[in-house]
Amino acid sequence: MPDNLSTRPPTDPAQQELILAAVDKFLERDVVPHAHDLEARDEYPFEIVEQMKKLGLFGATIGEEWGGLGLDVSTYSKIVERVSAVWMSVSGIFNSHLIMAAAVERFGTEDQKRRYLPRFATGELRGGIALTEPDAGTDLQGIRTRAEKTADGDYILNGSKTWISNSIQGQILAVLTKTDPSAEPAHRGMSLFLVEKNEQFRVTRKLEKLGYKGIDSGELLLEDCHVSADNLIGGEEGRGLQHILGGLELGRINVAARGVGVARACLDESVRYAQIRKTFGKPIAEHQAIQLKLADMATQVEAARLLVESAALAYDKGERCDMEAGMAKLFASEAAVNNSLEAMRLHGAYGYAKEFNIERYYRDAPLLAIGEGTNELQKLIIARQLVKRNPV
C-alpha cells in the first residue's frame, strides 16, 4: 500500500460553496438539457467536456502548484455526487483521469510532474488507468501485459487491456504491466507506465454496455509499443501495484459518491412523483406502503453520504483509508442499486419507460457494484483491515 501519502488542507468553506454553486449552474445549463438524448444515443458529450475544462474539473484534485484547483477530496466527493445525480457518466470522464493524475502527483518523479500535471489539470491531455485485462480484473496480479527493458534502457510493452474508460477519446493512460513476471509475490514485479496512444498502442473496439453510456469504454492492444524509461512512474520498477492502489482509494470514494448521487436522484424523483400520482382518491405518498419505501430510500442516501464523508476525510488527512473507502463504496453502490429498483417499482410503468430517467438509473447503478473492485472484494478488504487494525 502507499507509503507516500500526502495531506491536503481542507478547502475553505466559502470557496467550496462557490465551487459547488458553479457546478450546479454548469449542470443545469449544460448537462440537464442534453443528458437524456446523449445517453440514448450513447454519444460522447464533447461540448460538456469543453465546459468541464473551463470549470477546471480535470484538475479538481491536482495541486494548485501544477495548475489544478487543489480541492480536498471532501469537496471533490460533493462535486461527484451532484454530477452523478444528473448524469453519472459525466463523473467517469474526470474520475479515471484524476486517478491517473493522483498516481503521478503522489509517486511520480519531479520531471513527470512538470511534464504532465499542468496538461492534466487543464484537460489538454486526458486519459485514465489501464488495469483490467481479458483474464484479469479483480485479481490484478494476474495481468499478462509485459514491459521488457531494451538495451538503451527504455521499454517495449506488449499486451491487451479491456473495459478501459476514456481510452477512445483520451490521449494517455497509466498502464499497469509486469516488468518481472517471475517475481514472488507477483506484485513485486509490476510497474506503472504513462503511455500516450500511438500506432503501437491503439483501440481495437468500443465496448457496448447496458448503462454508463456516453463515456467511452474500449479494448486496447499494445504491440511492441516503445515507452521511454522517463515514463515509468516513480522511476523504479516493482512499485506499480502499490502506486495504483493509492489511486484506487480515490476511485472508490468517487464511485461511492456516484452511488450517493444516483440514490439521491432516485429518491428525489420518487418523492416528487409520489405527491403527484394518485390512487384511490389520494396521492400515493399518503399510502403507508409508499411511505415505508421512501423512508428506507432516504435513510440509505443519508447513511451512504456519511460513509463517503468519513472516507474522504481520512484520505485528506493522508491516512490509509482502504477500509473506509471500501465501506463507502460497498454501501453507497448497494444503496444506488436498491433505490433504483424501488424508484422503478414506485413509478410503475413510467419508471420502465425510456422517456423518463428512472430506467437510466436502473441501468447505471449496477456498474457501481462492479467498478473499482467488486463489492465482494470490498468486503474482503474491510474484514482484513478490521483484523489488522484490532490485533489480539
- Give catalytic residues, as residue numbers: 372
Q: What is the DSSP letter of 339?
A: H
CB of 147 closer than 8 Å to CB of 179: yes
Tell me how far apart the alpha carbons of residues 385 and 13 are, in angstroms, rounded to a whole number: 32
CB of 74 closer than 8 Å to CB of 313: yes
Here the cell at position 229 is 524509461
Tell me how far apart the alpha carbons of residues 141 and 143 are, in angstroms, rounded to a whole number: 6
Torsion region of 212: left, alpha or beta (phi above 0 gives left; psi -120 to 50 gives alpha): left
Tell me how far apart the alpha carbons of residues 127 and 169 are, in angstroms, rounded to a whole number: 8
CB of 85 closer than 8 Å to CB of 266: no
Tell me how far apart the alpha carbons of residues 248 and 311 are, in angstroms, rounded to a whole number: 13
Q: How many C-beta atoms surround the C-beta of residue 27 within 10 A?
A: 20
Residue appearing with cell numbers 443545469 = 28
Backbone angles phi, psi at 102, to 5 degrees: -65, -40
Contacts of residues 143-149 at CB distance under 8 Å and 24 or more positions apart, as own/partner, are 143/176, 143/177, 143/178, 143/190, 144/178, 145/175, 145/176, 145/177, 145/178, 145/222, 146/177, 146/178, 146/179, 146/181, 147/177, 147/178, 147/179, 147/191, 147/193, 147/227, 148/179, 149/179
Tell me how far apart the alpha carbons of residues 352 and 343 are, in angstroms, rounded to a whole number: 10
Q: How far is CA 47 from CA 67, 87, 114, 353, 357, in A?
A: 22, 14, 28, 27, 21
H/E stretch holding 203: strand 201-206
